[in-house]
Structure formats: C-alpha cells, structure tokens
Structure 1
C-alpha cells in the first residue's frame, strides 16, 4: 500500500469508527469535516515522518492513529492488524481467559479487572485494580489493547510460563510475577454466611453458573450481599438469570445500539421477596456492571465506588489490513449516554479503608437493616 493510500486509510478509518461506534447520529455537515480530517491527517503524517529526530516507521504511525481513533469512540475498542487478528479472536472467544486474568485498558495501562480463584494469576498474587507494565519481553503500557491480550493468548496456547511486571493499584511499587500455564481458575459461585447474611461471589455470570448458584442460596428470608467487585466475565443471558434468581419476577437488560434500536434480554422467575445489597467498585465491569445495573433498576442498593465503565458488546468488522472491534450494543445511563468510559454511581458511596473492608461492612449493615441506604 502506498504512502498516499495508507494516509487516506488512516483518515477514513475515522468514518468507520464513528459509523460503528457509540457516538450519536451524525449530521450532514460532517461531510465537509471528513475532507478536512483527511487533509489534516496527511499533513500531520508527513510532518511527523520528515521532522522527527528519528524517522518514525509508517506502521507505528498507522497503529497509533487507528487505535487513537477507535478509543475516542469506544475506550475498550481496538483495531487489530491482520497478523494478530486470529489470536485476538481466539482470546475473545475463550470460556475462561488465559491464566485466569481479565484485563482492560485504563490510563494507558492494562488494568486487572478480575482474577479467577485458583488460577495462575491468583497463585501469583495478582489482585483486581493492579496495573500491568510488561508481559514477557513486550512493554504494554501505552500500547493497543490487542498487544497485551494476544501475548497472554500465545503464551497459554503454547504452554509457556510468562513473566509479568505488575504495578500496585496505589502506584506504590512494582514487582515481577510469573504466570504458569494450565491454570485458568475456578468459575464456581461462592456463598458464605456472615452473621445471618449470605455473601455471594459469582466470578462468571453465565446461565450455567447461575444454575449452580441456585443450589447454594439459602432460603429467601436470608438477606444477600452480592459482591461484584472484581467481576467482569459473563454474558447478558446469565445476567438476567442471576437478577431474576435473586429478586424473582421479570428482569430486563435493555442493550441499546446506535440509532435507537435495542437488543432486549430478559428472564422471569417466581417472586422471592429476598433483600439484596450489591458491592461495586472500579473493578466491576462488563457482566458485573450489567448485573449491578439490572438489580439497581429494581431498587437494589449499590454500595462502594463508581464502576469501571464498560458495558459494551463488541464484534469484529473486517477493515483494510485487519479487524475493528467496537461496541455494537451497550447500556445507557440516566442521561441516555453509553456507559463506556464512565461507570455507574453507587447509591451508597463508600471509600475503601486501609484496614478491613469498609464497603462490605456497609453492605452487611444495610442487608441486616441496621442502617438505611445513605452516603457513608
């Protein structure tokens, strides 16, 4: 592909992103803006290549420009070059992530959203909220999402251990860990009793795991605290099944698309009368956010911090030299804006404490009826 054609490709990719992403319907006036964008891209690419201290490879400019365009419409979206597209699809279609480690992108770093119990990531001491700086010999800070994901996918598929440089969630230090292959972790639901309250963890929110949870729940007169911190895995069908299991009645998850269409997902079960309180924080994402949203729509109190801000369902679209992954469906907040890059605000905000678990303790108080839901 010639320099001219590649530059036009970079610019016109903006149109693809806007057309498939989550932005509002575009007005006719943007047509003129498209031509302006092409001219601006051409000028910037030429100046960067000719004026920088060292010549910047066109492939590097292409990668940075494309992923910058995609992330402006969908923060967790990505353009994947053809050479890595198959590995990225394999990663996305896994029932459990490589090494039991779920990542997303925040502030240019891959951030740990979830660590499955018993996984290689759990055994290595990784915790939700920590940042990843390097995977193997590959730096992943300020890199497109597919680089981190395909590095894990390749190592797991080849049965190789992989070294990972981890930064603490409070940026207090960095440490190396080593992930061993063959340990994806245990997705089973967990239920423990705390002073008359059932504390529920649901690492993977699918219909199969929800059916397993149904056999573990105590009677409906036992209140439940559903801890969705560090929960990201699952699907919409599992989410509505979980919400309906806990509360009974019909539960709907209205996943919206650009242009106003929706992808309704629903489930219905007999009423339970069970009292439910939900714990959330910045590692509650995707299926965890869908479930927190569905329960909050039924009046369930949410306790903790604002969620991660990713409720998108992404599918690939073929483009020149690769694939484009952007959200086709997503949840809308109260302002009818996509929950992408901004999270759900809890009804009872609570800051984490240095000692103990302030979020869980507040949720237990509310579940036992010791205090009305209010900001802590």
Structure 2
C-alpha cells in the first residue's frame, strides 16, 4: 500500500490551503450522528482506557480518532493538534527550524522528495528518493510522518543522525546540524543574452513581492530589454493560492487565473488577473515543470498555458488539484479538509491528471536521481479521479487534450542540485526555445489579449 503526504520537515507542502474563521463546536443534531453513534465512540474510548495493556489518555485517543477519520478521506485531509497547527503556520511564513527537506511517506517509510537549496539537507547531498530508515538509530518504519518531522526538528545547532537507504546501496549514516530554515522562494538570474530566469521553490508569503522585484530588476538591467523569461517550477510542491494567483497575474492582462468549485455555493470562487497586470508584454515565456510540480505550481502553469501566455516544457506535473480549508478548533488545533477542486481558465480540472507540457523534455538519464521514480497524485491512496471539465467559457482557449494520453503514476526526477545550473539539460532546452522564438514576441501578446478567459 502506498500512502504519501508531502511535508518539508514539518512544512505542509502543496496544500494551497484557505484558512477560515474559528469554528464552533458542531451541535449534535447538526452532525447527522445518532446518540447510538456517540455511544459506540465513547464506549470504545472507555474500553481502551480501562483495559489496554498500557495507559492511554482520552486526549490522545480523541486526537488519533480524528486523524483516522480524516486521513482515510483523501491524501490531503488531516487533523493537526495544537503544536502541529502552530508549526504549519510558521512553515507557511517560510521560516522554521530543521534540516530543510521535503519528505513523503511510502509504505511506512519516510522518503525524501527534494532537499531545499542552501539547507543542511542540500549541503549533505541528500537526494530525492532517499529513504530515511532510522533517526538517531531508531527505526522509522511505521512511524507517522508527523512524528518523523518532530524527530527531525530540534534546537538550532543540535545534531541529528539519520540512516539513508539509496537505491541498491547499503544504508549509510549522515549527521546533520539543525538550523533555522529561511526559505528564499524566488531565485532570479539574468542570463547574458537578456533572458530572465526565475526559479520558484515554493509559493510562500514572500513569493509575490520577490517575483515582481525580479522582473523589475530584469527590465532595469537587461541591455536592449528582456528577450524572454523562464519560470522554473520543477520540484515546487506548491503553497499559497494567493501567491500563485499573483505570480500568474504579473504576466496576464485581466481574465481568469483559476476557479474553485465545491459542493456549496460558498465554495465557488474565481480569481482574476489585474486588468493591466502583464509586466513583460509581448515577451515570450517558458514554464518548466516536472512530476514534483504540484498545486500552486500547477495553477500558474495551467493559467499561462490556457491563456496562451507561456509555453509549458518538461514533464507531466503532479496532479494535485484539490483545495484544503483550514478550520481552527479553539484550543484543539485545526482540521485540514478537502472542500473543492481547482479548474484552469478553460475549465479543466488539475486533479489526478495535472498539466501536460506543450513540449515534452525529459531529464537525461545521467541527470535523473538514482532512488527511483517519484509518485504522482494518481498513485496516492484515496486520491480523487479527474471529474472532467467544466462547461467551457467563450474565448477561454481549448481544453488540454493530451493530458489523459500522457498521464502516468510516476515521474523520473531530476537531481535537485542540477536545477538551474549550467549543465541543466531541461533549462538549456528552454533557453534554446526562447532564443528561437524571441522574434515572435508580439504574437504572444496578441494571443493572450484575444483569449482573456472568463470574467
């Protein structure tokens, strides 16, 4: 059985969650549960408290009952106790203590999805696909992902030793020193030929302002003007919906970026770009994605693809198209509940299928990690199937036809330390593409303005 939950050493990744006001206790008559239902729950809790071989507190049993109820719904719904909720709030702000790695759970063992640039995990040369089999010489098999995260975290300056299983090699120990992780979500570079390169590692609270500043700096420093832009979303697990809308809106003049549709009228929302938001009108754009590009990354890629504002290159994205609502419970943490699905401007759902690139560019074999392919959303236990497109809005662009043809449950990941470097073959392909298409940049603007999406 495969079960995965994306986390960055405690950072809840790819959630694109929406926080809602504090919820009051649900009245019994509104819950749909009968007195007999409550009696069964209370009776089992009492049975465990009285007769289990070791003492267990009621608070621990209630917490585990909530986690069990929510975890079985889908891969992204969950219950967070008070400490986990506080950790998640700190993580979303882009600053937290730990080692700096994105991890998931597979077959009861934590697996590294990607290390974060400039962190202890990256400096130790940990790789996507590495399995963490022990922490401080204690087995991780069957330990919940949150408890693994708690063990990896600690006071800055303290050490932790983890045992790594990589491919067919023998396990080996790595000792890392914990530190405050400050995530620089936007990493810009102006190439000598006037092409701007922006890597977004996650969508956090600083992403929107940093992205705008990067483009402004490009325009000021590029002699002869910016000739093209590469937005690198590979290995970006997502983050804040608002940041994704802002980033896409910086390259669009009005019209739809993404819409949300759930069971209730209150769950229907549409997010539009500013009327004159495009900071690089006419400049050709390439967006790089891969199987670890999820959620907010897919919102940006899908919007720019549907609006004909960018060419999407790389490999099929992760396929997380669901919306999680964070519901705080006063004094008892919070519930993270899947409440809706994302749809691109043309009305296609991201869920399960993800975004198919316009130009497929695989990482060469020698640039793929040795730990094996990464799982995509479709392989996760309880993942929703794609519900099909909404009714297409006039002028929104044709829905993507290729997604179901190229969908797979795994993706060959690139070595994280190669992303954005001179030898990065996928980036080279994007730069070559822009060099060839820079002369036709005015056509890009005309297409984008002719397809503004639904209002």
Report TM bin, short chain: 0.5 to 0.7
Map 1:1-376 → 2, pairs under 5 A: 66-81=66-81, 84-85=83-84, 87-99=86-98, 101-107=100-106, 108-136=108-136, 139-153=139-153, 155-156=154-155, 159-168=157-166, 174-185=171-182, 187=184, 188-193=186-191, 197-205=195-203, 206-214=207-215, 215-216=217-218, 218=222, 221-232=226-237, 234-246=239-251, 250=255, 252-259=257-264, 260-262=267-269, 264=271, 266-267=273-274, 268-270=276-278, 272-299=281-308, 300-302=310-312, 303-307=314-318, 309=320, 312-318=323-329, 323-328=334-339, 330-332=341-343, 339=351, 343-356=354-367, 357-369=424-436
3-state DSSP of counterpart to 1:148:
helix
Contact kept in structure 2, 1:132 and 1:141, CA below 8 Å: no
Separation (CA, whole Å) in 2 of partners of 1:37 and 1:265: 45
Q: Following TM superposition, where does structure 1 have runs of at least 4 consecutive aligned residues deviating by more than 6 angstroms?
A: 31-42, 54-65
TM-score by length of 2: 0.57
Alignment correspondent of 1:7: none
Unaligned stretches of 5+ in structure 2? 1-19, 21-30, 368-423, 438-455
Relative to structure 1, is the Cα distance of residues 319 and 344 closer, same or farther in structure 2, using a 3 angstrom cutoff? farther
1:223 CA drift (Å): 1.9
Cα displacement string for residues 295-328 of structure 1 (whole angstroms, at most 9, x for unaligned residues): 2222323222332636544414439976422334
Alignment correspondent of 2:452: none
Separation (CA, whole Å) in 2 of partners of 1:94 and 1:125: 26
Higher RCO, Cα 8 Å, sep 6+: 2
Q: Name the structure with the higher helix share.
A: 1
Q: Which moved more, 1:59-68 or 1:297-306?
A: 59-68
1:273 CA drift (Å): 0.9
Cα displacement string for residues 317-351 of structure 1 (whole angstroms, at most 9, x for unaligned residues): 43997642233454247886563x65333333333
Alignment correspondent of 2:381: none
1:75 CA drift (Å): 0.9
Alignment RMSD (CA, Å): 4.5
Alignment correspondent of 1:25: none
